[in-house]
Structure 1
Amino acid sequence: MSIHLRADRVVFRFSGPEAHKLLNDVVTGPIPNSGEMAAWWALLSPQGKILAEGLAGWADDAVWLDVHESVADDFYRRMRMYRLRASVMIDDLRATHRVGWSREKPNAGLIHGDRIGPVDLGWRVIAPLEETSSWVQDDTEYARIRIAAGIAQLGQDFAADTTFAHDIGMDMLDGIDFVKGCYVGQEVVSRMKHRGTARRRPVVVTGIMAPTGTAILANGRDSGTIGRVVDGSAVGIVRLDRFPADGTGTIAGSEASLSLPAWATYAFGESGGDE
Structure 2
Amino acid sequence: MDKMSQIFDPSITWKSSNWPTACLHVTGEDALSFLQGQFTQELRSPIPLAAAYGLWLNQKGKVLADSFVLRETADSVWIISFSSSAAVISERLEAYIIADDVVITDVSADWHSVAVGGPEAEAWLMQVAGAVPAAGEFVRATGGGLVFCGRRDGGTSFEWLLPSTVGISAGLVEVSADDLERMRIATGLPRVPQDIGSGDLPNEGGLDAVGISYTKGCYLGQEVMARLKAMGTVRRRLVRVRAEGRGVPAVPCALLQGEKRVGELRSAVADGSGGFIGLAMVTKLGLDPAQPLAPEPGDAFIELIDTP
Q: What's the TM-score, normalizing by structure 1?
A: 0.80
Q: Who is 2:177 aligned against?
A: 139
Q: Who is 2:199 aligned against?
A: 162
Larger Rg: 2
Map 1:99-248 onto structure 2 (within 5 A). 99-103=113-117, 104-105=121-122, 106=125, 107=129, 108=141, 109-115=145-151, 119-120=154-155, 122-132=157-167, 138-158=176-196, 160-171=197-208, 173-207=209-243, 209=247, 210-231=249-270, 232-246=276-290, 248=292
**C-alpha distance in structure 1 between counterparts of 2:35 and 2:68, whole Å:** 12
Alignment partner of 1:81 out of 91, 95, 102: 95
Residues 156/77 of structure 1: CA separation in 2 closer, same or farther (3 Å cut): closer
Runs of at least 5 residues in structure 1 that lack an aligned partner in the other structure? 261-266, 269-275
8 Å Cα contact 1:98-1:132 kept in structure 2: no
Residues 7/150 of structure 1: CA separation in 2 closer, same or farther (3 Å cut): same
Classify the secondary structure of the residue corresponding to 1:249.
Answer: coil
Classify the secondary structure of the residue corresponding to 1:147.
Answer: helix
TM-align CA RMSD: 3.0
Note the C-alpha offset of 1:112. 0.6
8 Å Cα contact 1:97-1:126 kept in structure 2: yes
Note the C-alpha offset of 1:11. 0.8
8 Å Cα contact 2:185-2:240 kept in structure 1: yes
Runs of at least 5 residues in structure 2 that lack an aligned partner in the other structure? 1-12, 130-140, 271-275
8 Å Cα contact 2:267-2:280 kept in structure 1: no
Note the C-alpha offset of 1:122. 0.8
Alignment partner of 1:249 out of 284, 288, 293: 293
In the alignment of these two chains, the number of paired residues is 259
Note the C-alpha offset of 1:174. 2.0
8 Å Cα contact 2:14-2:175 kept in structure 1: no
**C-alpha distance in structure 1 between counterparts of 2:44 and 2:205, whole Å:** 22
**C-alpha distance in structure 1 between counterparts of 2:265 and 2:191, whole Å:** 12
Residues 148/134 of structure 1: CA separation in 2 closer, same or farther (3 Å cut): same
Q: Who is 1:264 aligned against?
A: none
**C-alpha distance in structure 2 between counterparts of 1:28 and 1:187, whole Å:** 11
Residues 21/139 of structure 1: CA separation in 2 closer, same or farther (3 Å cut): farther
**C-alpha distance in structure 1 between counterparts of 2:265 and 2:156, whole Å:** 21
Note the C-alpha offset of 1:69. 6.6
The residue type paired with residue 55 of structure 1 is F
The residue type paired with residue 35 of structure 2 is L
Map 1:9-88 onto structure 2 (within 5 A). 9-31=21-43, 33=45, 34=47, 38-59=51-72, 62-67=76-81, 71-88=85-102
**C-alpha distance in structure 2 between counterparts of 1:80 and 1:237, whole Å:** 31
Residues 39/251 of structure 1: CA separation in 2 closer, same or farther (3 Å cut): farther
Q: 1:166-199: per-residue Cα shift (whole Å, max 9, x none)? A: 121112x321101112211122222222123411
Q: What's the TM-score, normalizing by structure 2?
A: 0.72
8 Å Cα contact 1:32-1:56 kept in structure 2: no
Alignment partner of 1:4 out of 16, 22, 33: 16
Classify the secondary structure of the residue corresponding to 1:228.
Answer: strand
Classify the secondary structure of the residue corresponding to 2:150.
Answer: strand
The residue type paired with residue 102 of structure 1 is V
8 Å Cα contact 2:66-2:84 kept in structure 1: no
1:90 aligns with 2:134: no
Classify the secondary structure of the residue corresponding to 2:267.
Answer: coil
Note the C-alpha offset of 1:37. 7.3
8 Å Cα contact 1:13-1:93 kept in structure 2: yes
Q: Who is 2:304 aligned against?
A: 258
Residues 5/85 of structure 1: CA separation in 2 closer, same or farther (3 Å cut): farther
